[in-house]
Structure 1
């Protein structure tokens, strides 16, 4: 249960960052959906954010690149955390 709680908190921070930095402030139900069941890939998570904002048609390439960059930063940290939790070593 601890891993899920941590991930949900991490996703909350990611979504807060997207709201503050880029103006992607998702409706509460969409935010909750992503927190409870976050996509496991950077592109899938980015797509989920755009779909939640009603912008899923891929016309916003520059903005998508910015959102993807923030998502990627967070997800890289998650991978390191999962490796440590599994007893692996990160370099």
Structure 2
């Protein structure tokens, strides 16, 4: 059975399930699995992990900001840092 067929069959099974408790168990299992698949590339100052997906999303947002002209030049940064 192909991956696409497996996914379709799983969707069909889930659509047929009426037991909310069972659905919560399946949800928890899938959520845990997906979280464990995340590659941790660093940590925030509050010790929360930064995943590879989060890092890539932040980089895309930063690139978009640069394209919009939202950045400081080195001279502007140096002037601002003198006021710290």
TM-score interval, smaller chain: 0.3 to 0.5
TM-score (norm 2): 0.36
- Structure with the larger strand share: 2
Greater share of residues in helix = 1
Q: Please, what TM-score do these two structures have when normalized by structure 1?
A: 0.34
More contact order relative to length (CA 8 Å, sep ≥ 6): 1
